[in-house]
Structure 1
Amino acid sequence: MLAHLLVGAVDLGRRHALLITALALALAALAGGFAVRHLGVDTDTDHMFAESLPWRQNEIAFARAFPTLADPLVVVIDAATPEEADATAAALAAALAADPAHFRSVKRPDASPYFAREGLLFLDTATLGPLLDQIVDAQPFLGQLAADPSARGLFSALALIGVGVAAGEADLAPYLPALESFDATLAASADGHPTPLSWQRLIGGGKLADLAGRYRFVLVQPVLDHAALAPGKAASDALRTIAARLPFVAAGRAHVRLTGEVALDDEEFSSLAQGMLIDTIGSLALITLWLVLAVRGPRLILPILATLGLGLALTSGFAALAVGTLNLVSLAFAILFVGIAVDFAIQFTVRFREAHHDIPEPGAALAATARVAGGPILIAAAATAAGFYAFVPTAFAGVAELGLIAGSGMLIAFFCTILFLPAFLTLARPRGEPAPVGFSTFDALERRLDRIRGPVLTAFAALALLGLFLLPHLRFDSDPLHTKNPHGEAMRTLHDLMDDPLTNPTSIDILTPDADAADQLAAKLDHVPEVADVLTLDRFVPTDQPKKLALIEDAASLLATTLAPREAAPVTADQIRLAIATARSGLAPALAKLPPDHPLARINADLARLADAPDDRILAMNAALTQFLPEELARLRAALAAKPVTRADLPPEIIEDWRAQDGRVRVEALATPAGHDSAGLAAFVAAVRALAPTAGGMAVIIVETSKTIVTAFTHAMIGALAAIAVILLAALRRPRDAALVLAPLLLSALLTVVGIRLAGITLNFANIIALPLLLGVGVSFNIYFVMNWRAGASRFLGTATARAILFSAATTGTAFGSLALSHHPGTASLGALLLLSLTATLIATLVFEPLMLAITRR
């Protein structure tokens, strides 16, 4: 009955070829148009996993509690001086806040007035005491600067340093880095290229600048367009345009870089698209070449391509109807469709060539093709579809959607092959075949293999055992960062932050009922070896305040009068020259006690060069030296005015990020450097969740997505094999015959495992998708040989079936192999694994399968 139905479908296509072709074109246009209008792309990676998963529920709950922390675009600023970084960050934040079309919120977490006022209280007493002593020791110098914050006052203070050195009362060792910076600024000014002097690096012997860290941050919530391939591109482009106009950025003295979740995702999508057009054109050219070699001539190639195009359009229309939006995994359905569905069309067309050689009349040849090839193609399509459908029930929504679309696409491809392809072939009117279609040379190869089948099968058995042994040792890299382009700005910036203990982004977030519960949990986490630091709301209230305030108050009492702001008269070039002369006379006695290459000696030489400089150069030097001086003196006055603080004194901008509106308080645990690799990250997450089972955050997301994906693929692969086995048993009606299809499939899987270990490939989020392809391709190839064997064939490699399998594999390999050339590391690893699994499948099908069939009694 089935054979009769298949022959009838093919005959229907042949008899109404023009009508069927017109109908196919109309269907393709309708489905394609519907897909263009209604099939979108959802690039939100959160939607790739079911919301019912516990870790996803924790993530959603945290996002609702702290909506201002979601979808961060992290702007990282570094500059030649800390003051230039501060000024750039402040100007950038102000400009971004004025652009609500691209940015929903803008924050500067490191620029709160609270930290400017209470910052010294966050130092431990062992650091604070010596720092204050150095500032107090510089009292004469600071007093002169506060009275006259200009080069005139600075050079007068420099003369005092010289007097102190000459009298043996000044220890310059702590100030050598500051003097080096002073010398560099003076030398640049003397050369006519003045650069700003960093007073953060001068005051306190540079320790204030070190405590602030190298980077400044602006945290942005951009307006995202999840229908675009790069949702944050518009906001990122607007930000870069604004940043390029900032003075220090335009001068090359400050650098603005982007990282964070949004920038990383956008960069990944750009990496995926890079070179895609060239790779696609090259792939299509090679596919066309393989089709030429497989079926010879445009009268057969064009029907195959038309059938593929029709099937792809119908599958796209189905995707638009069934899911509406594609995620970053289900986007691959087109590649899968072309890579696997082409096999059905090639198999039918090559078998038609074989029939047309023996049967000159095209209609009869098509009917004969339907009788011998229709059944195997149907079984292959059904088994492949079942393999894909097995992924639909999994919690990994990304691959579940892919399974639904690709599985349905296999059935669509079958109907296109059995109904529309005969119509296209009829209209194309291919000529009869003058010679047999198979490979005559492969007959000799098969006979040689048959003579040594014992050793060959033994070798396969050994490789299978090796694969079984290696299977538990396959590595899965759970870090999604390893699938991204390491050379992109966002990734390079992220690695810079990971290497800096002050900006470690590997963290876990926990929601606690209130501040007291947060403090109790933080105290426990402090004793966890895998945790480097713990932050919560009360950690922004300094500890040991009485002792620290006493130290600060002592320093403030000594420096209050010294640092009091005064009105200074405007400075002129002649006054600065006079101050230069005074400074040199003060330095002269000190130089005799210092080495010739000492910074003070070089400063004296710089002053000698500047003494005769024109007025514009003198005034430019004054601006470079004192541009940031008033601001730094004000910062120092504010820091010395620190007061006792409690939780009630915390500013709103801090409370907003750490206490939710319902009173729950956030606790953040930071990983040690050991947590940067997969094993260390898993240990970090396990240690924290032992104390806080509902913990979330980036570290938990990375670990849990890994578990979800591995579990989904494990369950789906088992389900797929079971479904394929059921279909084979139902179609072939003999367990032995079903086993003859499954045995090469399992062997190819084990050969792939061996190849993975030999090639040093690590399974990751990107290339694990190759596993269902192994099932789909392997099942199709093996069914054809087994069906031929059931029909009485005793030789296989020289047949038209083998020719179709070989060129189908070449076409599939070309479609998949182009991925291996991708600029995106994850996609390249997918392409490499696909080629490896396809090679293993070909070896199992073309070598192992014929030998198994030869020794199995029919």
Structure 2
Amino acid sequence: MIKEILGQWDDLFVRIVKFCALRAVYVLIAAFGLSAGILNYVVENAKINSDTSDMLSPTLEFRQDFKTYKNAMPAFGPSLVIVVEAPNPDQAEDAARILAERLRESKEIKGPVKYLAADPFFARNGLLYLKRSELDELADRLAEAQPLLASLSADPSLRGLFEILGLALNEAAKGGSAPKGLNLIFDSIADVAEARATGKADELSWRRLISGDLADSDVAREFIRVGIALDFSELGPAKRSMKVVRKIAEVAALTTDHGIRVRLTGGDAMSTEELASVSEGAAKAGWISLVLVALLLFVGLGSSRLVLATLLTLVTGLIWTAGFAIAAVGHLNLISVAFAVLFIGLGVDFGIHFALRFREEIVAGKPQAEALENATRDLGGALMLCASAAAIGFFSFLPTNYVGLAELGLISGVGMFIALAANFTLLPALLSIMPFKVKLRPSIIAVVMPDVIIKRFGSGLAIGALVLGVASAFLLPQARFDFNPLHLKDPTTESVQTAMDLIADPKVSPETISILVKKESEAEKIAKTLSSLPEVNRVVWLNSFVPAHQDQKAGVIQNIAFTMLSVFDPANRKDPPGKADLKTATGKFRQHLLATANDRNADPVMAVSAERLAGALAPYLSSSLALQRSVTDLQDGLLDRFDGRLKRLKQSLEASPFTEADIPAALRGRYVARDGRFRVEVYPKENVTNNEAMERFVAAVRQHVPMATDTPVVLVESGRIVLEAIAQAALTALVLVCILLILIMRNIWDTLLVLLPLVLAALWTVAASVIFGLPFNYANVIVVPLLLGLGVASGIHLVMRSRLGLSESELLRTSTPRAVVFSALTTIGSFGSLAVSNHRGTASMGELLMVAIGFTLLSTLVILPALMGWLDRRGLRQTK
């Protein structure tokens, strides 16, 4: 029954090929005309969905929770996170304020611009957020710094600064006590003076000086969130907005040349740059792939006309498949966009086998029409079986929750039958209009693996492969799936680098978990419970912004304000000094420094700092015009931002107690949902770019609050779903392919021969991923259907050709092993080109697939012939 059905299929394919060969011109006109129309349709309608969350079924509970959360929190709509970085907080604050003002003035920025640090509410009440002990320390520091600040307030110049510091040195020289931290002030001034003398733009941080953090050398960061309108007509929806922000920053001189670094990040920024990275990498890989495939086809087919016919058929089938993809699915995702590479890798397999079988007949002296008929009759059933097995591998993902791979499965599964149709229609038409004169060349496989080796060492090779497969199985538990999409993105892009920097800092990590509750009491209880967990750094909700003991703190702040009255008195302001006055004041102060440095009774630490500062000031007093540096430039570096910090200090001393109702709307929107629920935000203690750390964080929080959601929860749960989908699809495909092979081949041994190379290649691939540190991820999991498709196809071709009564020696001299070799090599060339991409997901796809296909080739061409010979010698197989 099965043989009769297969015979009918072979007759059908032969009739189709004859029809297309006899009417070749009409077939070509129809095929290329159809391709032109489909190509135009694809260009006009193609879309790419870069949202990785859409790769999973929307019916999953954790996805529904996340969607509900997003809908309830409009404050987290499409936006860019702008990170303004500078060497010190004064520069960062001023730069961020300027940028925020320019963004608000821009007509091209449609959404809200939120710079909470500059909000008048926080500028006025910021000191109330300090602990009482921290506030007392600040009061003491300001009391000590009051003379310095008062002097500078009256004379904000080098003259005022150096006069008060000189008085402090004199007091110390007379036996009095120098102000606490005076040596750190000297060191900070020396840093600026030395840098300015070499042409750099370093500045003194008065904010750090007042707060007592002069030893802090970390880069200062300020954050601005800008609401944007996504433009889906662009390849990158946020591309236009990102360009506008960068242009505004450049015009405002907020660039690295001026000591300011403005970086963009956030989900929308990363998606936009990822699309650009993927597109650039795909274009580069496409050209490399095309060249490699063409060269390999020329070597393998031995005829430029065969190469041309095969490539035209391949490209035409690819266009038809792309048309189906857009018509059936409507878009491509970051996984299904790889359908083209899969089609090339598997679709060219059909063309290579058909072309080489046709070539074999031509070499044997057959006319072209008869050669086409014989090749079709011998290969029709095998190609149909290969296409069906590959399609089963792809379709096995359809019932899973992994929508991203299911869409790829639908497109590529149908693509296998499109490739089959193209090779039975267009390819014969092309071959029939091309005259062929080819010479017989020795089979590549006969050179690589002489049959004498298989005869002599076949059993040893088979046993060795099986032992290696069993050993590889022990590494299966160590295989890892990297569920974090951040690890797949191009690490050279600004948005990814910025995100990685922020995630590494537990104070500002954007990878937080969110919980929505109806009552304040629930939020308070959850915050208290989660704060005690070792995996949690801190928990923030609306009430976190209402500090405790406000009345007591307000009293301390009022006392500070009274102490600082003279500092803020504008009546004391002196006229600015001239350049000569500045040099005089600098020279006089330098003499004080040298005296301190040479004073044996001076504090050793102070003496060292004084000597260093004296040396740093020397270039500004040099009599040589070539060596002299500008004292006004030094003054700019030391005092340019003093008035601004004094203004902020005065504003912060106007604090008064407030309630939850006084919290600004911009902040309230981040912690109160549109329906009135309260958002509790949980920050991780560890760096959650490490997957194990993220899993611990999510597990710890969800153990107490199962309804918790946000990015870490979605990522961890997505990884679990993907693993389940892969296992389900692999098992489904394996069972269905086994049934198909048993029905068609009617021999359990031949079925096992086809499957064994596939199983061995899969085990070796997993072992290689463990040994070489190539974890599976959302991108390279397409190795599963590809390995199944190509592995089964290669096995089917060799086993079915051997059933014609050929020995392993005779089999190795036919066109079939040659076709298997070059089919695998073209696939390796096609996928290997992806490894050059800067996008780590795309690159990992190329790397792992090269390994997998290489193992498939090895197991099919070395182990399979050896096993076939071993079974043939024992009469366990059916042959004609």
Cα deviation for residue 212 of structure 1 reads 11
Match of 1:520 among 522, 525, 535: 525
Q: Name the counterpart of 1:773.
A: 786
Shift of 1:273: 3.9
Which segment drifts farther, 82-91 or 682-691? 82-91
> Does residue 232 of structure 1 match 2:252?
no
1:749 positional shift: 1.3
Deviation of the 1:726 alpha carbon = 3.0
Could you report, residue by residue, the CA deviation over 1:551-597 in whole angstroms, capped at 9, with x for unpaired residues?
Answer: 33333333334444436243231665676687678878866453585
2:865 partner amino acid: P
Q: Which moved more, 1:156-165 or 1:118-127?
A: 156-165
Q: Contact (CA 8 Å) 1:442, 1:798: kept in 2 or not? A: no
Tell me, in whole angstroms, the C-alpha distance in 2 between the residues paired with 1:609 and 1:463.
Answer: 72
Please give the residue correspondences for 1:164-183 in structure 2 after superposition, counting only pairs within 5 Å.
Answer: 164-183=171-190
**What's the % identity of the aligned pairs?**
35
- Is 2:48 aligned against 1:41? yes
Partner amino acid, structure 2, of 1:689 = R
Which residue number in structure 2 is paired with residue 537 of structure 1?
542
1:26 aligns with 2:33: yes
Partner of 2:411: 405
- Look up the SS of the partner of 1:215 in the other structure: strand
- Residues 248 and 567 of structure 1: is their aligned pair in 2 closer, same or farther, counting only changes over 3 Å? farther
- Secondary structure at 2:227 match in 1: strand
Does 2:370 correspond to 1:334?
no
Q: Which residue of 2 aligns with 1:819?
A: 834
- Which residue identity is paired with 2:719? S
Are 1:323 and 2:329 counterparts? yes
In structure 1, the residue matched to 2:263 is: 257
Matching residue within 282, 285, 308 for 2:314: 308
Counterpart-to-counterpart distance in 2, 1:302 and 1:75: 51
- Aligned-residue CA RMSD in angstroms? 3.0
CA separation of 1:354/1:265 partners in 2, compared to 1, >3 Å: closer, same or farther?
same
- Mean Cα displacement is larger for which, 822-831 or 182-191? 182-191
Task: List aligned pairs for 1:71-110, cutoff 5 A.
Answer: 71-102=78-109, 104-110=111-117
Q: d(CA) in 1 for partners of 2:409 and 2:201?
A: 64
Match of 2:692 in 1: 679
| Equivalent position amino acid for 2:480 in 1 | R
Q: Aligned partners of 1:28 and 1:608: how far apart in 2?
A: 78
Residues in 1 aligned to 2:593 and 2:446: alpha-carbon distance in whole angstroms: 95
Name the CA shift for 1:377/1:619 in 2 (closer, same or farther; >3 Å). Answer: closer
Q: State how far apart, in whole Å, the 2-side matches of 1:296 and 1:830 are.
A: 30
Separation of aligned partners in 2, 1:567 and 1:386: 87
The residue type paired with residue 847 of structure 1 is V
Deviations along 1:790-834, one digit per CA (max 9) or x if unpaired, are: 333333222111111111111111111111232332222211111
Q: Structure 1 residues 177 and 274, CA, compared in 2 at 3 Å: closer, same or farther?
A: farther
Alignment of 1:104-183 (within 5 A): 104-183=111-190
Instruction: Map 1:702-713 to 2 at 5 A.
Output: 702-713=715-726
Encode CA deviations 1:312-355: one digit per residue, 9 max, x unaligned: 11111111210121111111011110110000011011111122
Residue type of the alignment partner of 2:386: A
> 2:877 maps to which residue?
857
Using a 3 Å threshold, how does the CA distance of structure 1 residues 159 and 451 change in structure 2: closer, same or farther?
closer
Counterpart residue type for residue 858 of structure 2: I
Partner of 2:400: 394
1:467-616 superposed matches below 5 A: 467-566=472-571, 568-573=573-578, 576=582, 592=599, 593-594=601-602, 597-600=607-610
Contact 1:333 1:402 in 2 (8 A): yes
- 1:68 to 2:75 alignment: yes
Q: How far, CA to CA, are the matches of 1:161 and 1:333 in structure 2? A: 75
CA pair 317-712 structure 1, distance change in 2 beyond 3 A: same
Match of 2:854 among 831, 836, 839: 839
Whole-angstrom distance in 2 between the partners of 1:347 and 1:674: 51
CA distance in 1, matches of 2:838, 2:151: 59
Deviation string, structure 1 residues 698-755 (Cα, Å, up to 9, x no partner): 2112212211222221211112222222332343344444333223222221222233
Q: Structure 1's 336 and 123: CA in aligned 2 closer, same or farther, altered over 3 A?
A: same
Matched, 1:731 2:751: no
- The CA distance in 1 between the partners of 2:645 and 2:42, in whole Å, is 61
TM-score (normalizing by structure 2): 0.91
CA distance in 2, matches of 1:363, 1:633: 93
Match of residue 381, structure 1, among 362, 387, 397: 387
Instruction: Give the structure 1 partner of residue 732 of structure 2.
Output: 719
Three-state SS of the structure 1 residue aligned to 2:548 is coil
Distance 1:443 1:94 in 2: 70
2:291: which partner in 1? 285
Q: Structure 1 residues 411, 434: closer, same or farther in 2, change over 3 A?
A: same
Distance 1:807 1:191 in 2: 62
Q: From the superposition, tell whether residues 271 and 384 of structure 1 become closer, same or farther in structure 2 (CA, over 3 Å).
A: same
Contact kept? 2:458, 2:863, Cα under 8 Å: no
> 1:13 is matched with which residue?
20
Q: Deviations over 1:631-661 (max 9, x none)?
A: 2122222223322222122122211111112
Instruction: Please identify, of 92-101 and 572-581, the stretch whose mean Cα deviation from structure 2 is larger.
Output: 572-581
Distance change >3 Å, CA 191–CA 453, structure 1 → 2: closer
> In 1, Cα distance between the equivalents of 2:136 and 2:778?
51
Deviations 1:28-54 (A, max 9, x none): 112111111122222233322222122
| Maintained 8 Å contact 1:43/1:226 | no
In structure 2, the partner of 1:367 is 373
Structure 2 CA distance for aligned equivalents of residues 436 and 461 of structure 1 = 33
8 A contact 1:232–1:262 mirrored in 2: yes
8 Å CA contact 1:504–1:670 kept in 2: the answer is yes
Task: Give the structure-1-normalised TM-score.
Answer: 0.93
Shift of 1:102: 4.9
1:794 aligns with 2:801: no
CA distance in 1, matches of 2:93, 2:275: 32
Q: Note closer, same or farther for the CA distance 1:192–1:249 as it changes in structure 2 (3 Å cut).
A: closer
Change (3 A) 1:294 1:662: same
Larger displacement relative to structure 2 (540-549 or 579-588): 579-588
* Matching residue's letter, 1:531: V
Q: Which digits, 9 at most, give the CA deviation of each residue in 1:443-474, with x for residues without a partner?
A: 98234313333322221221221232222221
**Contact 1:43-1:327 within 8 A present in 2 as well:** yes
* DSSP-derived class of the 1:312 partner: helix
Q: Tell me what 1:699 maps to.
A: 712
Q: SS state of the match for residue 52, structure 1? A: coil
Shift of 1:517: 1.9
SS in 1 for 2:111: strand
For residues 195 and 741 of structure 2, what CA distance do their matches in structure 1 show?
81
Give the SS at the match of 2:181.
helix
Q: Which runs of 5+ in 2 are unaligned?
A: 1-7
Q: 1:586 to 1:291 in 2, by over 3 A?
A: closer
Q: Determine if contact 2:108/2:244 at 8 Å carries over to the other structure.
A: no
Alignment of 1:667 with 2:680, yes or no, is yes
d(CA) in 2 for partners of 1:140, 1:447 = 97
* Residue 226 of structure 2 corresponds to residue 220 of structure 1: yes
In 2, Cα distance between equivalents of 1:823 and 1:363:
48
Match of 2:466 in 1: 461
Residue in structure 1 matching 2:364, options 348, 358, 363: 358
Q: Give the drift of 1:106.
A: 2.0
Match of 2:825 among 810, 816, 821: 810
Higher mean C-alpha displacement, 569-578 vs 452-461: 569-578
The 8 Å contact of residues 828 and 850 in structure 2, kept in 1 or not, is answered as yes
Distance across 2 between alignment mates of 1:40 and 1:192: 50
